[in-house]
C-alpha cells in the first residue's frame, strides 16, 4: 500500500517518540508566540483558551499525515486546508502565504533540532528527506513561494526568522496561558527546553536566556532513555489530564 511517508523514513522515527514530539512543539510554541501572524491563532480563541489541547490537535493531524496510507494522508492535508479557509472566510481576510510557510518551516527545523538534541546528528540526506515530506505537504496545500530544496530552505528559514518574528502583546498573553495551563514547574521546564531547541533569534526576542540550566538533567534523561526506564520520570512530569495522550505518541 502506498504511503505519503516511507515506512523506513527518518521522519517516522522522529515523530514516533513522545519526548521528541514534545520538544518539537516546545520550540514551535516559542515561535508561534512571536510570529507576526499570531493574531490569526487568536481569532478563533482556541489557542489561548486551551494551548495544550491545540497542541494535541496539531499533533494528531501531523501524525495522520506521517503514518497513514497515501490517500488518508492527502485527506488529512486537505482537511487542514479547508479548516484554514473556513477561518479566512469567517474573518474576511486571507492568511498570508509567508505565515503558512512559517509553520512548515518550524516543523522542519524543530524536527531536526529536537532529534539531534535527543538522539544524534542527522546526515544531510536525512535532513533533505525531512524537508521533502513537509514540502509535499505544502504543495498539496497549494502554498506559494516554497523552497524547492533543503539548501534553499535553509536560506529562506534564516530570512523568515529575521523578518517574521516580533515580540508583541500576543507574545506576553500566550506565555501567560502556557504558565496557567502547565503550572509553575512544568512552565519552567518548557522554557528550559525552548532555550535548548530554539534558534538564537527566538531566544533573543523572548528574553529567555541562552544557557540552559537543565543540560545536566537532559544528559541524565538521555541515559534513562538508553536504559529504557525513562517512563518513570516522564510519568512524574506529564500533566495528568494529558498523560495518556502523550504516552500514546510512542510508537
pLDDT given for residue 232 in this prediction:
47
Instruction: Please give the model's pTM, rounded to 2 decimal places.
Output: 0.88
Contacts with 79 (C-beta within 8 Å, 6 or more apart), sequence order: 61
Segment 98-107 shows an average pLDDT of 93
pLDDT higher than threshold 70 for residue 240:
no
Segment 8-49, tens digit of pLDDT: 999 999 998 888 888 898 899 999 899 998 887 777 777 777
Of 223, 170, 184, 185, nearest in space to 31 by CA: 170
Amino acid at each position: 500500500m502506498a504511503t505519503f511517508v516511507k515506512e523506513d523514513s527518518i521522519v517516522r522515527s522522529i515523530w514516533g517518540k513522545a519526548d521528541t514530539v514534545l520538544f518539537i512543539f516546545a520550540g514551535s510554541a516559542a515561535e508561534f508566540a512571536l510570529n507576526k501572524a499570531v493574531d490569526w491563532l487568536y481569532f478563533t480563541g482556541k489557542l489561548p483558551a486551551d494551548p495544550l489541547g491545540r497542541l494535541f490537535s496539531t499533533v494528531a493531524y501531523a501524525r495522520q499525515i506521517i503514518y497513514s496510507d497515501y490517500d488518508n494522508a492527502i485527506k488529512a492535508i486537505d482537511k487542514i486546508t479547508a479548516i484554514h479557509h473556513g477561518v479566512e472566510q469567517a474573518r474576511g481576510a486571507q492568511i498570508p502565504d509567508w505565515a503558512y510557510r512559517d509553520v512548515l518551516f518550524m516543523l522542519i527545523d524543530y524536527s531536526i533540532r529536537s532529534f539531534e538534541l535527543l538522539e544524534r546528528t542527522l546526515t544531510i540526506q536525512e535532513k533533505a528527506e525531512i524537508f521533502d515530506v513537509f514540502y509535499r505537504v505544502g504543495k498539496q496545500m497549494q502554498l506559494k513561494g516554497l523552497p524547492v530544496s533543503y539548501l534553499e530552505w535553509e536560506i529562506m528559514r534564516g530570512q523568515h526568522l529575521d523578518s517574521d518574528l516580533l515580540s508583541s502583546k500576543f507574545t506576553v498573553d500566550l506565555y501567560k496561558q502556557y504558565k496557567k495551563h502547565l503550572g509553575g514547574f512544568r512552565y519552567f521546564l518548557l522554557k528550559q527546553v525552548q532555550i535548548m531547541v530554539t534558534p538564537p533569534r527566538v531566544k533573543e526576542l523572548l528574553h529567555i536566556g541562552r544557557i540552559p540550566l537543565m543540560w545536566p538533567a537532559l544528559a541524565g534523561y538521555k541515559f534513562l532513555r538508553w536504559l529504557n526506564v525513562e517512563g518513570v520520570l516522564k510519568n512524574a512530569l506529564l500533566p495528568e489530564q494529558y498523560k495518556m495522550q502523550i504516552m500514546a505518541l510512542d510508537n
